[in-house]
Amino acid sequence: MADLLLELFSEEIPARMQTQAAKDLHRLVQSALVDRGIYVEAYKAFAGPRRLTLAVAGVPAQGKDIEEDLKGPRTDAPKTAIDGFLSKNGLTLEQCEIRSDKKGSFYAAKKHFKGRATAEVLAKILPECFSKLPWPKSMRWPQEPSYLVTESGSYITTEEGDRITVESRTRWVRPLHGIVCMFDGEVVPFEFAGVQSGNATKGHRFLSSGTIEVRHYDDYVEKLRKAHVILDAEERKAIIFEAVKSAAFVHGLEMIPDEGLLDEVAGLAEWPVVLIGAVQDEFMDVPPEILQTSMRTHQKYFSLRDPKTGKMANRFALVANMIADDGGKEIVAGNERVLRARLSDAKFFWDQDRKRTLESRVDDLKNIVFHANAGTVYDRAWRISYLAEELARFALVDPVRAKQAGYLAKADLNSDLVNEFPELQGVMGGYFAESEGLNPDIVIAIRDHYLPDGQDDLPEGLFASVVAAAEKIDSLVSLWRAGERPTGSSDKFAQRRSALGLIRILLATKVRVSLSGAISLVLLYMNVQRNERWEHALRKNLSHDQFNPIVDELISYARKNLVGLTDTDMFADNATSKEVLEFLADRLKVALREKGTRHDLIDAVFSLGNEDDLVRLVARVEALQSFLKTDEGANLLAGYKRAANILKAEEKKDNAKFDGEPDAGLLALPEEKALGEALASASRSIADDVAAEKFVEAMGVMAKLRAPVDAFFDKVTVNDKDAKLRENRLKLLARLRATLHQVADFSKIEG
């Protein structure tokens, strides 16, 4: 067994592309080797600012023989097709056999490939693998590095005036400067992008000079480190993390964690050196989120904070790719000058944006299209405001303030700061609302209405949760009604995240709301916004105070008369409501999976069709899950399934339903009488307990059914020769099914 060392040395690779490129290189090379019968022990891929590296251990000197099953044309295919198959694969007709499938007979053959020397295989497949790397963005360049090019149609023109077709140039992420390919200590010769493979690479751009000759992975890593290059990105991340923590500690500060930035800067520096710079005091009255985002986005700086106060400090940590003779003083000074210019822009935007109120900005949302079939962001603002008002009543918070918060929530989208830093939407709205002196509840609701965006960041408080829930319901429903639905491979509007966020909010706050009702309201508002009076009022550019009464009147009238709803609209809206509810049920399974809640029990409760209050649904499911863990629950489920199977078979045989009440006078045997009496009593008790949301008590009533159900199946023959007795006993089983279905559809329960 031998080892393979592969390195692609190039101009700087964008940090965001490095990790995936290393994975793709690993995947492509491994797939190509396996296809040729070469199986290895281990792969390890690395990525850095100027190199992709793949180290492969345990590579055989020669591939295994391969036998490939070839499927040819139909036996009745034209002679040219058959001859083409034979010629392509070097076969004769005598070497083929005739096989058959559902479509008829066809020629087939087995072709044997003798394993080739691995070095020969590598020389052939590696250039193909390099050309297949799926870079998100790539460029073409001439194979002669000295060319200065300008594009002109399908040609480029060199300084000497020569024309080269675009197709003759190589497409890759950045121009390559070198390729190392060492197999068993020897160079594998091949060419890619005008670069010949060899055994030489280079170290750090500034901290080393000359070339480095390598033979194996171990001496490659060691020599790179001596040339101030740390190959492993994870090691670079660990060095940066510890260095920032230590440097901050010296100043009595701590690092504000930022995993994404840590990943990025690890892809920018081959030899990371952490330095500390200062933020000028004149910028410290700007909201910390603006400072942090500006430093992170534009300069890749880590923000620091005072552990005593928890507030952002006037210091930052930068990662240099250089060891400076002066200890980094000049580097820090230069970065501070650049940062001053960046923060001056941010402070200017902050000061300018506060000169306008949020309400004055809402009208500008008419110019921002949310979706071609779901209206503008201005339309959304109205829908969210009215839905927030309705939800507030369920949550017992101020509906007037909720309506105002919903209306203003999107107003910061046309501010200069959000245009510059889109990730600050919502956050800036909260700061603008605070600077206007709006109610603190409204400030927090605007700030948090996009939450949750992760596992822990729920909106702060019940009031903000109501507005955030309204935003997510409107987003889900309006996009669904507009024809946008997530697929297995695509969710471009993050509808799964919206659904999970809504579920987390409702379960955390215990807000009791009918999701069907909320969905219907959004659909109603969307139809109102298609009304001619809405369009006419929009064209008049009325103020909020003037427009509000018109909207109130339209919505009130629409609720009574379903204005704007054609038969087609109503059909589509019903379908939308059903699909969104099913989508939320699927997301609920995902949300509860980590808690150990069974997905089939959610289906069992949800499929009854009368449960769209998530808080009540989860309580019902949890009570059912606890019940089924008991002996009574497990045995009753078995009895239910036996009854359901009998009913299914007999209903199919008779082409009839046995849903009527059993005749008490025909209950002849003691066991069937006992079951009939138990079901009559249990049915009333379960109905009362479910209506009162006493789900644990309802399970207790069901538990008492176990004994009479077991006795019935032990002693009673359902399919009696007497037709009347048979029918009555089937009705008794149907009564058992209906009684249990008051709690859940037991046919959906597994086991």
Using alpha carbons, select from 553, 395, 402, 571 the residue that is nearest to residue 471.
402
Other residues' Cβ atoms within 10 Å of the Cβ of residue 656: 11
Query: What are the tens digits of pLDDT across the range 716-741?
Result: 888 888 888 888 888 888 888 888 88
| 476 pLDDT higher than 50 | yes
Lowest mean pLDDT among 241-250, 282-291, 425-434, 564-573: 564-573
Distance set, CA 300 to CA 227, 485, 737 (Å)? 25, 36, 64
Question: Tokens 């089937």 label which residue?
Answer: 730
| 51 pLDDT higher than 70 | yes
Instruction: Report the alpha-carbon distance of residue 383 to residue 378 in Å, rounded.
Output: 9
Domain ranges of the chain: 2-63+117-138+173-226, 66-113, 234-353, 359-598, 630-748
Task: Name the residue with higher pLDDT: 196 or 455.
Answer: 196
List strand residue ranges (DSSP E) for 94-240, in order. Answer: 97-101, 104-113, 139-141, 150-152, 155-157, 163-165, 170-172, 176-183, 186-187, 191-192, 195-198, 200-202, 211-213
Mean pLDDT of the chain: 87
The predicted pLDDT at position 5 comes to 95
3-state secondary structure of 160: coil
Provide the whole-model pTM. 0.78
The predicted pLDDT at position 145 comes to 43
Query: What are the tens digits of pLDDT across the range 273-313?
Result: 999 999 999 999 999 999 999 999 989 999 999 999 999 99
Backbone torsions φ then ψ of 629, nearest 5 degrees = -80, -15
The predicted pLDDT at position 155 comes to 52
The predicted pLDDT at position 553 comes to 81
Query: What are the tens digits of pLDDT across the range 624-642?
Result: 888 888 888 888 888 888 8
The predicted pLDDT at position 320 comes to 95
Query: What are the tens digits of pLDDT across the range 660-713?
Result: 788 888 888 898 889 888 888 888 998 898 888 888 898 888 888 888 888 988
Res. 68 pLDDT band, cuts 50 70 90: confident
Query: What are the tens digits of pLDDT across the range 85-119?
Result: 988 888 888 888 999 888 889 999 887 767 678 88
Query: What are the tens digits of pLDDT across the range 578-618?
Result: 899 889 988 888 888 777 888 888 888 877 777 788 888 88
Res. 161 pLDDT band, cuts 50 70 90: low
Q: Which of the four CATH numbers 1.10.10.10, 3.90.1520.10, 1.10.730.10, 3.40.1190.20 does domain 630-748 have?
A: 1.10.730.10
| 565 pLDDT higher than 90 | no
The predicted pLDDT at position 167 comes to 47
Q: Could you tell me the fold of the domain covering 2-63+117-138+173-226?
A: Alpha-Beta Plaits (3.30.70)
- CATH number given to 359-598: 1.10.3210
The predicted pLDDT at position 162 comes to 55
| 530 pLDDT higher than 90 | no
Average confidence (pLDDT) over 128-136: 92
Question: What residue type is assigned to position 523 of the chain?
Answer: L
CB 436 within 8 A of CB 358: yes
Proportion of the chain above pLDDT 70, given as a percent: 93
Which DSSP string corresponds to 648-669?
Answer: HHHHHHHT----SPP-GGG--S
Question: Tokens 């008779």 label which residue?
Answer: 654
Task: Name the residue with higher pLDDT: 159 or 366.
Answer: 366
The predicted pLDDT at position 151 comes to 45
The predicted pLDDT at position 37 comes to 81
Instruction: Report the alpha-carbon distance of residue 714 to residue 40 in Å, rounded.
Output: 62
Instruction: Report the alpha-carbon distance of residue 636 to residue 711 in Å, rounded.
Output: 12
The predicted pLDDT at position 144 comes to 47
